[in-house]
Amino acid sequence: MSEVTADGQVTTKPLARGDAADKAAHGGTGGAGSGGTAAEDTAVAAVREFNRFYTNVIGLLRGKYLDTPYSLTEARLLFELGQRDASEVADLRRVVDIDPGYLSRILARFEADGLVGRERSAADGRRQVIRLTSHGLEVIAGLDAQSAEQIRGLLASVPGDGQRRLLEAMRVITETLTETPRPRGYLLRAPLPGDMGWVVQRNGAVYAEEFGWDESYEALVARIVADYVENRDPAAEAAWIAEVDGGPAGCVFCVREDATTARLRLLLVEPWARGLGIGGRLVGEVLRFARQAGYSRITLWTNDVLADARRIYRRAGFTLDDESPHHRFGKDLTGQNWSRDL
């Protein structure tokens, strides 16, 4: 049996006698390997381990769904029937993806229990249409309430930031396996305790991954953030955190350059959150705040390799003042100063 350890490694231990049923239910009792590479076998083992873990969490190995007379497949079929007034058998078979003979036996049981009624399609007499009875609707309402209560209890047992991380992980799994990302919104807010550490960590990590910058850039960000926190003038300086699905996804700072000039600093949008318009909105907030604070001009420093950021600055009305080569953050770069009137 495989286990994911605290450092993310997968180890293997002998299969206990009591685990045999779990193994059979999720793909046999053999090891992960079936001719794949070591990395593939490790990935397979990790997924199977998660499957076994989660089916235990939600009680699927106890036989019937939510301690009702129905199996998981039967309950899933009832939920699908409850999504519409009527369903054709062919559509149900496609959505639930089960064997036609098995589906027919389940529907026959539902009909015998008074949960559904069958009729011929008015559009095509060769097709069967399934409708829930009033009793079927009552059964579904009960299942829905029990399921919601079960998940509510599960979430209540997850402390602190764990719920957000859990929901984000579920979203990532769904989008990755279906390749259909859902539309996502965002909000901008003032920094909360812990956000400044996130700003430093994510700037260091993102720029290292995307541009190969070394730790000296993270050190620079840490100094900028520390200076802001210790010396901020609330009337003249501000910072914003962009939040997506309850977690930080971007940031920007507006600080004083001199009595009439503001400086935009540390614009960052997480790679997974790009394309939502967050970068442009963050820059827009800086410009709005700088005007209200009484500045007449705003400036910023960037590097030529940051093409996406430069496009945002240009669209926001900034123009390039000057540029010069330099060697910083472990790379040969071209620094650029941009500014605009307010």
Could you read off the pLDDT of 220-235 as tens digits, one per residue? Answer: 999 999 999 999 999 9
Give the domain range for residue 307: 187-341
Domain of 132, CATH number, reads 1.10.10.10
Nearest partner of 283 among 253, 257, 308, judged by Cα:
253
Q: What is the mean pLDDT of the chain?
A: 85
Is 111 in the same domain as 225? no
Is residue 32 in some structural domain?
yes
Residues 218 and 302 in one domain: yes
Instruction: Give the pLDDT of residue 91.
Output: 83
Give the domain-ending residue among 133, 156, 179. 156
Looking at the fold, whether 216 and 312 belong to one and the same domain comes out as yes
Last residue of a domain, one of 45, 62, 79: 62
Please list, in sequence order, all residues whose beta carbon lies within 8 angstroms of the beta carbon of residue 168, skipping any fewer than 6 positions away: 245, 246, 247
Contact predicate 46/10, CB 8 Å: yes
Any idea what DSSP says for residue 70? Answer: S
Same structural domain, 264 and 324: yes
**Would you state the pLDDT for residue 185?**
82
Domain boundary among the residues 42, 62, 82 is at 62
pLDDT value, residue 151: 86
Question: What is the Cα–Cα distance from 279 to 286, expressed in whole angstroms?
Answer: 11
Where the chain has pLDDT below 70, the residues are: 1-35, 59-67, 125, 180-184
Q: How distant, in Å, are the alpha carbons of 208, 231, 337 from that of 61?
A: 45, 58, 62
Q: Which residues contact 108 (CB under 8 A, 6 or more apart)?
A: none
Contact between residue 143 and residue 66 where contact means Cβ atoms under 8 Å apart: yes
Examine residue 34 and state whether it is found in any structural domain, yes or no.
yes
Cα distance between the two ends of the chain = 64
Number of structural domains in the chain? 3
What pLDDT does 1 receive? 37
pLDDT at site 301 = 97
pLDDT value at residue 295: 97
Q: How far apart are CA 262 and CA 114, in angstroms?
A: 72
Please name the residues in contact with 134: beta carbons below 8 A apart, sequence gap of 6 or more: none
The pTM (predicted TM-score) of the whole model is: 0.56
Nearest to 77 by CA among 54, 51, 97: 97
